Amino acid sequence: MPHINELDGTDARILLALIQDPRQTVVAMAAHLGLSRNTVQARMVSLEKRHAFLPFDHRINASTLGYPLSAFISIHVQQQKLSALATSLAAIPEVVEAHGLSGRADLLIRVVSTGAEDLFRINGKILACDGVERTETSLAMQELVPFRMTPLLERDLKK
């Protein structure tokens, strides 16, 4: 039985068209895909309601904002303080992502900084958060596979 949020081929084609040209109009996309404007518009509304689209800030490059250095910080936490810790981490502007993990570390966060000294300052702010036991910082040296969805959408179209 398909999951309620599962996309069909038309949804996948619309998403691929948006990846190719995110600024195109619904009318242009409909013409390109051979669909009616109403179909594309209805599908776009449905995709929006199903949270298929991430916030726009995912598309902004931190380097252009003056934060060329990215790092991943593994955090070991006191589990009972995890909820409050998430709030504290969200209050640090340079924390751009945080994920709860299974395995050795409890959290993996991605931070951006202006350089090594700034990263040291940010790491200090994280260590000062109630519930943080220790951190391990790894600099992002090179993005080898950028965030992408195209291969998944294309694979699903071939099914």
- Cα R_g (the chain), whole angstroms: 20
Q: Which CATH number fits domain 59-139: 3.30.70.920, 3.40.50.12780, 3.30.70.240, 2.50.20.10?
A: 3.30.70.920
Same fold, 9-53 and 59-139: no
Look up the pTM and report it.
Answer: 0.85
Between CA 64 and CA 9, with CA 59 as vertex, the angle to 5 degrees is 160
Between CA 118 and CA 131, with CA 79 as vertex, the angle to 5 degrees is 40
Domain ranges of the chain: 9-53, 59-139
**C-alpha to C-alpha distance for 97 and 94, rounded to whole angstroms:** 9
Helix (H, G, I), strand (E, B) or coil at 3: coil
Q: What is the mean pLDDT of residues 101-111?
A: 95
The dotted CATH code for 9-53 is: 1.10.10.10
**Mean pLDDT rounded to a whole number for the chain:** 93
115-152, pLDDT tens digit by residue?
999 999 999 999 999 999 999 999 999 999 999 999 99
Q: What is the mean pLDDT of residues 60-65?
A: 95
6-15, pLDDT tens digit by residue?
889 999 999 9
**C-alpha to C-alpha distance for 52 and 56, rounded to whole angstroms:** 12
